[in-house]
Chain A
Amino acid sequence: MPTYTFILNDNQVSVDCDGNVRLLWVLRDILGVTGPKYGCGLRVCRACTCHINGLAFNPCSVPVSQIKPTDKITTIEGLAATDPTGENGLHPMQEAWLKKDVAQCGYCQPGQIMTAVALVKELQSEGREVTDADLDKIRNICRCGTYYRIREAIKAGAKNM
């Protein structure tokens, strides 16, 4: 069985598995990293959203064979370490999530936060503020209907990023 190596939350990891297995299952079922959630396996719900080299992506739709040894994968568990300037060493977006008490069941929230961070970074690189139109483009599902607080938290978190 082939071995795949990559950098997961700043640590080098290796897994032995079939190259066709989507990265989400490598993370969850093999490595036991369960922050990224399964909500569809179809790149629809975005509950699995993580970062690859700082960009948001959906590991449910990427075979592990496509991940290079130098790729840096960040899951929600490793997000704080990328910018620990929020309270208690959290990422400013996580802090904003706490301040607005966004979560209900919480199942979608790791993906929501990872999407939010990437979105804000993208807008910042374009020199833009977050607008309602930008927020309308977010595809992450929240079946508990926390969208309103998500929007408030993203606007607040962006100010500290």
Chain B
Amino acid sequence: MAVRLTERGFSLAAHHDPSDNSDAQSSGLDRRRFLGFLIAAPTLAVGVQFIPGLAGRQAADASIITPPEPEEIFDLGDAQDLAAAPTAGLITVVVNPDGTASFAAIRTEVGQGMTTAIAMIIAEYLDIEVHQVSITLADARPELLLNQLTGGSNSMRSQYTPTANAAQLAKQQLVAAAARKWNVSPSALRTASGTVIHPDGRKAGYGELATLAAVTKTRRVALPEFKAKDRAEFRILGHPTPRIDAYDIVTGQKTFCTDIQVPGALPTMVARPPTINGTVVSVNNTEAILAMPGITDVVPISTGVAIRGQTHGQCIDAIQKIKVTWGPGTVDSYSDSTVLSALVAAEPPFLVPPVGDLTTEGAFTFYFASNTPLEPDNAIAVVTPTSAEIWSCLKVPIDALQDIAIQLDLPQDAVTVHVAEGGGSFGRHLFHDAATEAVEAAQKIGKPVHLMWSRTDTFRQGRTHPMAISRVQATTLLGNVVTYQQYHTDVQTSFSHGLGEILTATAASLPIVGNFTFAETIFLLSQSSPYNFGVTTQLLNEIPLEFNTGSMRNIYSPNAVTAEELIVDQLAAQFGQDPVAFRQAFLKDSRVLAVLNKAAEVGNWGKTMPAHCAQGIAVHSEYQAAVAVLVEINCTPQVVNRKVHNGYTGPRVTKVLVVADPGFCINPLGFEAQMIGGVEDGIGLALTASMHLQNGLFLEGSWDNFFYTREWNTPPDIQVIITNTSSSPSGAGELAVAPTFAAVACAYARATGTMPTSFPINHGTLGFTPYPAEPSTPQSPTDGLKYTF
């Protein structure tokens, strides 16, 4: 640690950098071994199976000043990559007789652009155009076991190499077919955009060759040596590419789960208890409800009373009239204040006791926040005594399939689970709550259902990001930070979606010693301080309250990073240093330092700001990516107090600059979109978006209650700069949330002169009139024609 005293301001680049992936062959692209197959089909179908290899990253060497934390040498994405490997099955690329290619992705598309990125990889390595690739989402495939999970931002990292291998194998087979046809050596031929070209200029289209290359018996083939292209050679990868589903979206043709029509699967909604996880004691007017227009069925299920009808509107009408005696829920005695007390009581004492002036500390409260996407949870279930067929947006479809098989007491192969495209996820679709309910309702009713949650259900009974306290304490000595402790205490985060089994299965491979719980493992894998702060301790402590929790565009980072960055600003002030200069002095990762420097330069850090306005800056490194966010905030009274009917205004973030280094960026256009989305989330978490718990019920029931960022909160100026420093792609979906949240918090502290300690900052006042607890879904208005424009 003493080294710090003399080395301030030196270049960190010379130090061991655990996330340096500059050598693609040894890190991102060649870590697993693959087997190639030609699959019996009327056209060319190739498969690639990936088998265990070595996790490529070596443990950091001993020259590091602050010992590396687990996340730095082995992060959550790595763990998932490795966990996926031993059990992975086959992925296939089919070249169709019309020259297009098809691929059933084993990841779920929820808006993050995964299908577009996969299409780009295939187009690049097969040498066709992106629009010639069609991507569907694979049904749950139990043989893939744990590899079929979309979470932890690992999609791109784990899909890149197998997909590229499969596309390259398909191209090799097409060239070989052309070589046979023309009786020349394959090496004499070249390809260009869907055709194989003879040296004399003759051409053969992929479609024609695909039929020639078809095989009648599946067999294993040697995979061509995988030549990861040099970045400069890429024709498609790394170039901004619009989403492949954009046309369908703007014309209203994209089919989300809510839009899927299965014969007989009538709209079904659930009248729900007035407190979280309440139960049905009795339904007291079933006959009257059945007599209502359109209603076909009313049955109690584990979570409420399922009502099936001709239209959703009639189900909502029935929810207004149903009379149910409810049993208690699981957290009826809890409100915000009691959960807070429980968290405080559970906080362990710091290992290093405070030492007067040498200690800087802060405790930060983060309230519950809803992870509901815009498309409400929904699922279609067709259940017979011997089979079940389910459609839903599921990020862990295998987990759903296995649970549903148990639920129905059916063998797994009697259950088919189709993965629908989702209107967002943000962590919600790691779970299959709606599918479980749909299956129960379909079985009890004896008819197919399309069960949909109402908006109010999604807030009040749906999963939330758990409430947490992050307590930070740093000790300084002679201009150095010698200890840094961060204890994060939260309401237990549920990981019942199989991610748990994944890591449990690979626990032996994780470079973590000791008996950590699963959540602690995730915490340690995903959190790490990017600073040289001497002896660094970060711990997670969870209290087992029975809320329905889950991740929300990241698990711990947004809260943990915000707490840390606020304390970093405090330390800078204590040292009489500018926040950027302080970070430059203490950051230990060269990539993080580089994005910070770029942000400070482009964002004109330190420029004079008007009164009540300020800049804020924060950095973050996760999933082997580095990101810096610089924001400007306006906290002038006229802005803070501006009025929007039924809306929350408050301080306005006027400008955001994101500088991100994802390693290699597959699609800059898509990546930028993910950064922008993360920015909006971060702003909401800092300023406006939370849930208020009162006597076992969340009060929020609509988007005019849960103040996710709206147009009037959105920054009119957002700029994203992407730097590519390696060949290894990393996750994007969650990356910008934490540093934006932190930067906004830091800017707010500087603009107002007061460091916020409770988030979002508006949580203390309830800015809306809550809907009553019953009916659980409020009636739709009838006066819509008064508000045309």
For residue B188, CB closer than 8 A to chain A, the reply is no
For residue B310, CB closer than 8 A to chain A, the reply is yes
Chain B, 99-131, CB within 8 A of any chain A CB: 110-113
With contact pairs A107-B375, A122-B789 given, residues A141 and B708 touching in the complex (Cβ less than 8 Å):
yes
With contact pairs A21-B314, A94-B250, A98-B246 given, residues A143 and B716 touching in the complex (Cβ less than 8 Å):
no
Q: Establish whether residues A40 and B375, one from each chain, have CB atoms under 8 Å apart when the complex forms.
A: no
Q: Establish whether residues B676 and A106, one from each chain, have CB atoms under 8 Å apart when the complex forms.
A: no
For residue B312, CB closer than 8 A to chain A, the reply is yes
Q: Establish whether residues A108 and B293, one from each chain, have CB atoms under 8 Å apart when the complex forms.
A: no
Q: Which residue of A25, A36, A80, A151 has the most chain B CB atoms within 10 A of its CB atom?
A: A25
Q: Establish whether residues A138 and B711, one from each chain, have CB atoms under 8 Å apart when the complex forms.
A: yes
Using a Cβ cutoff of 8 Å, how many contacts connect chains A and B? 235
Q: Establish whether residues B710 and A43, one from each chain, have CB atoms under 8 Å apart when the complex forms.
A: no
Q: Establish whether residues A47 and B314, one from each chain, have CB atoms under 8 Å apart when the complex forms.
A: no
Distance A135 CA – B715 CA, assembled complex (angstroms): 11
A143 surroundings in chain B (CB, below 8 A): 372-374, 424, 426, 708
With contact pairs A41-B454, A141-B703 given, residues A80 and B375 touching in the complex (Cβ less than 8 Å):
no
Q: Which of A20, A47, A80, A105 contacts B422 (CB 8 A)?
A: A105
Distance to closest chain A CB from B700 (angstroms) = 12
Q: Which of A18, A80, A144 contacts B677 (CB 8 A)?
A: A144
Q: Which residue of B249, B267, B781, B783 has the most chain A CB atoms within 10 A of its CB atom?
A: B249
For residue A103, CB closer than 8 A to chain B, the reply is yes
With contact pairs A45-B703, A62-B785, A137-B711 given, residues A98 and B247 touching in the complex (Cβ less than 8 Å):
yes
For residue B78, CB closer than 8 A to chain A, the reply is no
Q: Establish whether residues A34 and B311, one from each chain, have CB atoms under 8 Å apart when the complex forms.
A: no
For residue A158, CB closer than 8 A to chain B, the reply is no
Q: Which of B312, B426, B455, B777 contacts A45 (CB 8 A)?
A: B455
Q: Establish whether residues B712 and A136, one from each chain, have CB atoms under 8 Å apart when the complex forms.
A: yes
Q: Which of A55, A101, A107, A113 contacts B424 (CB 8 A)?
A: A107
For residue A85, CB closer than 8 A to chain B, the reply is no
A142 surroundings in chain B (CB, below 8 A): 374
Q: Which residue of B647, B677, B718, B787 has the most chain A CB atoms within 10 A of its CB atom?
A: B677
A39 surroundings in chain B (CB, below 8 A): 374-376, 455, 703
Q: Establish whether residues B680 and A75, one from each chain, have CB atoms under 8 Å apart when the complex forms.
A: no
For residue A159, CB closer than 8 A to chain B, the reply is no
Q: Which of A44, A109, A148 contacts B676 (CB 8 A)?
A: A148
For residue A127, CB closer than 8 A to chain B, the reply is no
Q: Establish whether residues B246 and A151, one from each chain, have CB atoms under 8 Å apart when the complex forms.
A: no
Distance A104 CA – B255 CA, assembled complex (angstroms): 14
Q: Establish whether residues A66 and B718, one from each chain, have CB atoms under 8 Å apart when the complex forms.
A: no
Q: Establish whether residues B422 and A21, one from each chain, have CB atoms under 8 Å apart when the complex forms.
A: no
Q: Establish whether residues A119 and B787, one from each chain, have CB atoms under 8 Å apart when the complex forms.
A: no
For residue B709, CB closer than 8 A to chain A, the reply is yes
Q: Which of B112, B256, B711 contacts A139 (CB 8 A)?
A: B711
Q: Establish whether residues B258 and A38, one from each chain, have CB atoms under 8 Å apart when the complex forms.
A: yes
For residue B261, CB closer than 8 A to chain A, the reply is yes
Distance A142 CA – B711 CA, assembled complex (angstroms): 9
B710 surroundings in chain A (CB, below 8 A): 139, 141, 147
Q: Establish whether residues A107 and B374, one from each chain, have CB atoms under 8 Å apart when the complex forms.
A: yes
A161 surroundings in chain B (CB, below 8 A): none
Nearest CB in chain A to that of B314: its residue: A21
Distance A74 CA – B553 CA, assembled complex (angstroms): 35
Chain A, 4-61, CB within 8 A of any chain B CB: 17-18, 20-22, 24-26, 28-30, 32, 34-45, 47, 52, 55-61
For residue A130, CB closer than 8 A to chain B, the reply is no
The size bracket of the interface on A is: 35 or more
Q: Which residue of B246, B422, B454 has the most chain A CB atoms within 10 A of its CB atom?
A: B246
Q: Establish whether residues A40 and B714, one from each chain, have CB atoms under 8 Å apart when the complex forms.
A: no
With contact pairs A58-B784, A139-B710, A141-B703 given, residues A42 and B778 touching in the complex (Cβ less than 8 Å):
yes
Distance A108 CA – B254 CA, assembled complex (angstroms): 11
For residue B520, CB closer than 8 A to chain A, the reply is no
Nearest CB in chain A to that of B716: its residue: A132
Q: Establish whether residues A20 and B317, one from each chain, have CB atoms under 8 Å apart when the complex forms.
A: yes
B646 surroundings in chain A (CB, below 8 A): 44
Q: Establish whether residues B455 and A104, one from each chain, have CB atoms under 8 Å apart when the complex forms.
A: no
Q: Establish whether residues A105 and B374, one from each chain, have CB atoms under 8 Å apart when the complex forms.
A: yes
Q: Establish whether residues B785 and A52, one from each chain, have CB atoms under 8 Å apart when the complex forms.
A: yes
Chain A, 97-122, CB within 8 A of any chain B CB: 97-98, 101, 103-110, 113, 118-119, 122
A105 surroundings in chain B (CB, below 8 A): 110-111, 373-375, 421-424
Q: Establish whether residues A101 and B669, one from each chain, have CB atoms under 8 Å apart when the complex forms.
A: yes
B375 surroundings in chain A (CB, below 8 A): 37, 39, 105, 107
Distance A75 CA – B716 CA, assembled complex (angstroms): 29
For residue A90, CB closer than 8 A to chain B, the reply is yes
For residue A129, CB closer than 8 A to chain B, the reply is no
Q: Establish whether residues A94 and B251, one from each chain, have CB atoms under 8 Å apart when the complex forms.
A: yes
Distance A24 CA – B715 CA, assembled complex (angstroms): 32
Instruction: Render B30-57 as a binary contact track against A, CB cut-off 8 A, 1 for contact.
Output: 0000000000000000000000000000
Distance to closest chain A CB from B679 (angstroms) = 7
Q: Establish whether residues A97 and B250, one from each chain, have CB atoms under 8 Å apart when the complex forms.
A: yes
Q: Which residue of A24, A94, A141 has the most chain B CB atoms within 10 A of its CB atom?
A: A141
With contact pairs A42-B780, A101-B246, A141-B708 given, residues A146 and B252 touching in the complex (Cβ less than 8 Å):
no
Q: Which of A42, A60, A108, A135 contacts B374 (CB 8 A)?
A: A108
Nearest CB in chain B to that of A1: its residue: B293
Distance A118 CA – B249 CA, assembled complex (angstroms): 19
Nearest CB in chain A to that of B682: its residue: A145
Q: List 7 A-B contacts (CB under 8 A).
A: A21-B314, A41-B777, A101-B246, A105-B374, A108-B374, A145-B681, A147-B680
Nearest 6 A/B pairs, CB to CB: A35-B252, A107-B423, A105-B111, A145-B680, A61-B784, A106-B249
**B residues at A contact (CB < 8 Å):** 110-113, 242-243, 245-256, 258-259, 261, 267, 293-294, 310-314, 316-317, 372-376, 421-424, 426, 452, 454-455, 646-647, 669-670, 673-674, 676-681, 702-704, 708-712, 714-716, 718, 777-778, 780-785, 787-789
Contacts A26-B311, A61-B784, A104-B112 known; list 13 others, CB within 8 Å.
Answer: A24-B313, A34-B252, A37-B375, A39-B375, A40-B703, A61-B782, A77-B252, A101-B669, A101-B673, A103-B245, A106-B254, A109-B250, A147-B680
